[in-house]
A and B are shown apart, each in its own frame.
Chain A
Amino acid sequence: MLFALQVTVEGAPEWSPVLPGLVILLPLLGFVINGALALAHARRSADAVRGGGELDLPAGDMPLTHTLPTWIGPGVMGLAFLIAAVNFVGMAGVELHEPVIRTYWTWIVTGSLNVSAAIQLDQLSMVMMLVVTGVGFLIHVFSVGYMRDDPGYPRFFAYLNLFVFFMLVLVMGAGYLLMFVGWEGVGLCSYLLIGYWFSDREKADAGKKAFIVNRIGDLGFLVAMFVLFITFQTLDFGEIFSAAPDRIPYGSSMATIVTLLFLLGAVGKSAQIPLYIWLPDAMAGPTPVSALIHAATMVTAGVYMVARSSVLFALSPVGSATVAGIGVLTALFAASIALKQYDIKRVLAYSTISQLGYMFLGVGVGAYTAGVFHLMTHAFFKALLFLGAGAVIHSMHHALHHTHKDEDWDAQDMRNMGGLRRHMPITWVSMWIATLALSGIWPFAGFFSKDEIIWATGAWAGAANAPYPTLYTVYWVLALVTALLTAIYMTRLMVMTFHGANRTGEEEAKHLHETPRVMWIPLAVLAALSVFGGWINVPESISESFLGGFGLLPMGENLHQWLEPVMAGAHEIQAQHLGEISHQAPLLGGGELVWALVSTGVAAIVVLIAARIVGGQKHVAAVDAAEPRGLGRVLYRKYYVDEAYDAIIVRPVHALSRFSWRIVDSVIIDGTVNMVGNLARAFGWVGSLFHTGQINTYAFILTIGVLAILGWVAF
């Protein structure tokens, strides 16, 4: 069927992609089939549509609607990943300098706007494809175990598949409009999945909040597209980026406007200040959703968008500096909040916001490859952390449910956990690997990616014609501080959850156990990736040193070289206007290797100290715990940001709508319409006065009529 469509291929004729459209279509097919199964189940019982509750079926008695998604959901993902991998191998074998664009059909032709349904296959989209399908596949497998007892099982996989479909459209689209289709689509799926257990009002509200806040950002994206269209008469990447350096002067207000507008869109989608508020609430959704959407893929769409538009951002120093600034501020801000959260998923949510801040810092200062690299490694260890947390919550839930303690006790509150390493060893080890990776300890993945971003910030601060050297130096310092905070809160999480004495209760602890194979195998795979995943982008100065095993370990600058053709345009502009990058840190001097050693060493020490302190504290179960005081309370309450937004924005909007309803609609508009009706009635009443029923009246009026005609004829 695909070949029946009119397909045109541009780009490197040496490599022809293998069924790239199938990568996108397979998840869509999964959605259709799973959705049909969900509807079929809904016809038979209300369970599948009910947003919550327990599935009252013994495991051996599952209907087809609950067994098929197990194979179709992850199955389409696995197939998509395989096809993507095949294409990756093909692409790697050729030196691809131009993206390969496959056009399927013409979508919009109006005026000078000509948009086709086309996908772009280049190195950047390939990286994203692999991450999305690969990590997505692992999470699908995990969900088979996690969501087994949920009545809406097929619905879950339908939505998950639909999400992956839209995400792939986003990363593979050949132009901004297609990216926007994917952008909106993932927002929709995020809403559907966050509010998956919709019968709980709070959870449904969380989904609404996510969608609405996203929408605010989307306005920025839309207007940016309008501006781009006016300037370039097209929305295709290739044409815009090749024409941009000539059409948009460096540092012009046009460049700044476009980049700032795109930033607004990214801020909404990737949860940065000021639109990050939806992500912590989004933890109301099932944990695999948090892992896939709010750690690995959807929230990274903003970073991908900036990386893709690297040419535009390189042309605007103000825009780039703003991106970096918002990134680092968010990183610091969110890390500080994470220090005092007790819900395990909340800590991870704020951690995600913080790490996204790092990614934005990376792409903001001009280290686009570093930002994408951190995106990739973050996908590995954050997904691992979330899935691990999911495993923990799964166990805690079962344990508390056995004694019905779950009415008062929250299965997600870390104060109710403790000492779980004895009960869930595999999860414990995997999560420690992820924690170390996230804290930036050598040789795990996060060390290389985070380090590169921090180093790039400092290096660009000292570049030959750096536009804002002091500002970037400040960013660099803040990034270092945030790294320390990251280590602290993650260690706190691990110690409170897995170490020390168990606070769940004697009876309940007997029911804590490790998760089944289908759930810990993905954890193991992600753990392995978290260990070795960082080795694909190690700068020479490090890989040649003892940190790289003196060149013996298989480390190298592979990702940088891989993405070079895509980032060439931006790098050219940087070389032209910013000059040579510095090789010394802005403060205290020192080269890359020195600072790498220092940062990993300090991080390791911080982990040990934090483990000591948190381990030594007295922890009580949540029901007995008092609310923190002073600064702790401010952090625990997330700096009262939600309350502020509520007072400043939400209430006035509600008041405005109430006013619009009660006064503008009911009184003014309805009143006007009714008045017209009443006027007609009044006219009718006046007319009725003529109908006296008396012949004399009629004769009189006849006479007047004759008089009128005669008068008109006579004069």
Chain B
Amino acid sequence: MAEVLFFTFATIAIGSAIGVVIARNPVGSLMFMVATLAAVAGIFVLLEAHFLAAIQVMVYAGAIMVLFLFVIMLLNLGHEYKRDVKGGLWSVMAFATTGVLGGLLVRQLGRSADAPTFLTGTGGETIDAALAEHGAVGAIARPLFTDYVVPFELVGILLLIAVVGAIVLAKKRV
């Protein structure tokens, strides 16, 4: 059952990703992106990362993509349907390079997955134990607020900076 679901989600994710790259209309690209995000969220669930799946959908697909959409609307893009994909030789070169990169990555990741330390890793059991004890949120919240509280605070400050920065940058100069 899990296999079938996984395969479905994977296909959707990859197909939508290709769609993001190929779509002519920016809004179309965006929609495909949302679909990818949703599929990846599904894979998250299958990997027992429930909290992250929820966050993915809410924050990523819900907020960030909406932001993108706002900007696209604001800039009134999409009216020129001229192809903005670089043509010919460039695409071939890019395709080839990224193909090689992809092959290498797959090979390496496959190898690392077969490494002894990896196969005997007990991470999965600990997560399951934490999930059982503290729930989906608690399993992440606990390390976040104890071991990693400093990065947590820093990320908060980062967000503040981002907000201020975005406002300053986008302000119309009068």
A and B touch in the complex (CB under 8 A): yes
Interface flags for B94-105 (1: CB within 8 Å of A; 0: not) read 100110110011
Q: Which of B94, B107, B108 contacts A700 (CB 8 A)?
A: B94
CA distance A711 to B108 in the complex (A): 10
B93 within 8 A of A: yes
Is the beta-carbon distance between A707 and B100 smaller than 8 angstroms? Answer: yes
CA distance A710 to B101 in the complex (A): 8
Interface flags for B56-99 (1: CB within 8 Å of A; 0: not) read 00000000000000000000000000000010001001100110
- Interface residue SS majority, chain B: helix
Which A residues are in CB contact (< 8 Å) with B101? 703, 706-707, 710
Is the beta-carbon distance between A707 and B107 smaller than 8 angstroms? Answer: no
Q: Which of A700, A704, A710 contacts B105 (CB 8 A)?
A: A710
Which B residues are in CB contact (< 8 Å) with A710? 101, 104-105, 108
> Using a CB-CB cutoff of 8 Å, which residues 678-715 of chain A contact chain B?
696, 700, 703-704, 706-707, 710-711, 713-714
CA distance A707 to B104 in the complex (A): 8
A283 to chain B, nearest CB (A): 86
Is the beta-carbon distance between A714 and B108 smaller than 8 angstroms? Answer: yes
CA distance A714 to B105 in the complex (A): 9
Number of interface residues of B (CB under 8 A): 12
> Using a CB-CB cutoff of 8 Å, which residues 646-704 of chain A contact chain B?
696, 700, 703-704
Which A residues are in CB contact (< 8 Å) with B104? 707, 710-711, 714
Select from chain A the residue with minimum beta-carbon distance to B90: A696
CA distance A417 to B86 in the complex (A): 104
Is the beta-carbon distance between A703 and B108 smaller than 8 angstroms? Answer: no
CA distance A206 to B104 in the complex (A): 85
CA distance A700 to B92 in the complex (A): 12
CA distance A385 to B97 in the complex (A): 100
Select from chain B the residue with minimum beta-carbon distance to A703: B97
Is the beta-carbon distance between A714 and B107 smaller than 8 angstroms? Answer: yes
Is the beta-carbon distance between A704 and B107 smaller than 8 angstroms? Answer: no
Which A residues are in CB contact (< 8 Å) with B94? 700
Is the beta-carbon distance between B86 and A696 smaller than 8 angstroms? Answer: yes
Select from chain A the residue with minimum beta-carbon distance to B100: A707
Which of B93, B104, B107 gathers most chain A CB within 10 Å?
B104
Which B residues are in CB contact (< 8 Å) with A696? 86, 90
CA distance A707 to B97 in the complex (A): 8
B20 to chain A, nearest CB (A): 16
| Contacts A/B (CB < 8 Å), 23 sampled | A696-B86, A696-B90, A700-B93, A700-B94, A700-B97, A703-B97, A703-B98, A703-B101, A704-B97, A706-B101, A707-B97, A707-B100, A707-B101, A707-B104, A710-B101, A710-B104, A710-B105, A710-B108, A711-B104, A713-B108, A714-B104, A714-B107, A714-B108
A residues whose Cβ falls under 8 Å from a Cβ of B? 696, 700, 703-704, 706-707, 710-711, 713-714
Other CB < 8 Å A-B pairs besides A696-B90, A704-B97, A713-B108, 7 of them?
A700-B97, A703-B98, A710-B101, A710-B104, A711-B104, A714-B104, A714-B108
